[in-house]
Structure 1
Amino acid sequence: MRIKKHLSLSSGLETATENGSLSVVKDALRLVDLDRLEKKVSREKGREGRLLWSPIQINKAFEERMDAAGWQEYTDNYFVCEDFDVNRAAALLPYHEQKAFIRAARLKPYRSNTQSDFLRDGMVIEMQLGKYTFPFYDIMIKNSILRRMGLVQCAIEIVPMKDLQAQMSSGPAYFEHVSDKFSKMHPDDLPRLPTLILGIC
């Protein structure tokens, strides 16, 4: 696999190049050979019987290459409640203090978590082969939270090009669609976190 196109937001390309993470991603993608991955027979309406690549298999192959390079999955566990201000304050506390903090505010705490594919040295990397809304959640919400917590200074989001997406099951997001949506946003609403969106094929 390889990178065909990219979209750099808030100097994402420069930051990812300088810290070396873009090179790691390129090397990992290069080692993923789509022709060696198992395809599955589609049961999706209008595509019955077609042999399609599985997003799960592609993600797994990429994950194995990233793991070999020393990059691991990151899970953030935390407690939430119904109150905006209490949630905002609790998020900055250590996990083991959040539950008591919420209860002290006379609210009910609920355990939750957020997962990122890879996080290391201030860099978060996500291969997003899920539904079309997921890249926007990653970039605009999840990564913003990680930035506020002081965990990341840059992000890379990886999505397929349309030509590849058309040969995959489950209809994931694709680069042309993601790029179009960000192009139509007001400049003030674009992510402040340096973000590099990669279109792969």
Structure 2
Amino acid sequence: MKIHKIYSHLNGEEYLMARRPALWVEIQSVIAKVDGLACKTKKSKEAKKFGATLYSPPALNKEFKDRFEECSPPWKKEEFSYYVCEDERTTRSVQNLPAIEQKRIIEDAGFEALSTSNETDFVKDRVAVEVQFGKYSFVAHDLYVKHLAFFAAGKIDVGVEILPMKSMSREMSSGPTFFEKDLSNILRQGRGIPGVPLVVIGVGP
């Protein structure tokens, strides 16, 4: 596959080029190694595309996973747990504290400490990568929840989101997101939102 477009949010690409140049080269190399045509295995049952052979999101995800795990050292999934509660003021006050402290403060305030977690597909040396060939809502969750949560928790410095271009999503089942749409969604929010440096990459065959 190849990179068609790159959008740098809050100097995300510039950060990679200056502080993590080897990782930035590695990400681009992984994309180049992904065999997109080998993932064109899904037979469409939709009326408008009936019988057509389409890109399979599970096959694409596996191909990316295999390529990222081939790196040395490999990129790995990372998860972190934290606590929330029903009270806005208490929730705000504990957001950037260690989980054990969050639990104690919430319970001392008289609320139930509810355990939850966030995880991201690939993390290495404080850079997170999400590969998203799913529906529009999944990208919003990546950009405005996952990457932001890891950044706010001090676990990453920049997030990378890999999306199909519209030219590629046309050859997928109805519903997957595409780079152009999510670029517009980010720009519509204004320069500082989401408040995490990002590199959004549009890929295609």
TM-score (norm 1): 0.88
Whole-angstrom distance in 2 between the partners of 1:156 and 1:62: 14
In structure 1, give the amino acid aligned to 2:144: M
Counterpart in the other structure of 2:144: 140
Alignment of 1:27-106 (within 5 A): 27-37=29-39, 39-69=41-71, 70-106=74-110
In structure 2, give the amino acid aligned to 1:107: F
In structure 2, give the amino acid aligned to 1:32: V
Counterpart in the other structure of 2:17: 17
User: Alpha carbons of 1:170 and 1:80: their partners in 2 closer, same or farther (altered >3 Å)?
Assistant: farther
Whole-angstrom distance in 2 between the partners of 1:71 and 1:41: 31
Percent identity, please: 30
> Are 1:195 and 2:167 matched, yes or no?
no
Contact 1:161 1:176 in 2 (8 A): yes
Counterpart in the other structure of 1:122: 126
In structure 2, give the amino acid aligned to 1:68: E
Whole-angstrom distance in 2 between the partners of 1:85 and 1:118: 32
Whole-angstrom distance in 1 between the partners of 2:61 and 2:43: 18
4+ residue runs of structure 1 moved beyond 6 angstroms? none
> Are 1:8 and 2:5 matched, yes or no?
no
Contact 1:55 1:169 in 2 (8 A): no
Deviation at 1:117, TM superposition (A): 0.9
Deviation at 1:97, TM superposition (A): 4.4
CA RMSD, Structure 1 to Structure 2 (Å): 2.0
> Are 1:175 and 2:179 matched, yes or no?
yes
Counterpart in the other structure of 2:115: 111
Gaps of 5+ in 1: none
Deviation at 1:38, TM superposition (A): 5.3
Contact 1:10 1:191 in 2 (8 A): no
In structure 1, give the amino acid aligned to 2:156: V
> Are 1:162 and 2:170 matched, yes or no?
no
Contact 2:118 2:149 in 1 (8 A): no
Counterpart in the other structure of 2:135: 131
In structure 2, give the amino acid aligned to 1:64: D
User: Alpha carbons of 1:108 and 1:48: their partners in 2 closer, same or farther (altered >3 Å)?
Assistant: farther
User: Alpha carbons of 1:43 and 1:24: their partners in 2 closer, same or farther (altered >3 Å)?
Assistant: same
Contact 2:128 2:159 in 1 (8 A): yes
Contact 1:75 1:114 in 2 (8 A): yes
User: Alpha carbons of 1:170 and 1:100: their partners in 2 closer, same or farther (altered >3 Å)?
Assistant: farther
Q: What SS is found at the alignment partner of 1:62?
A: helix
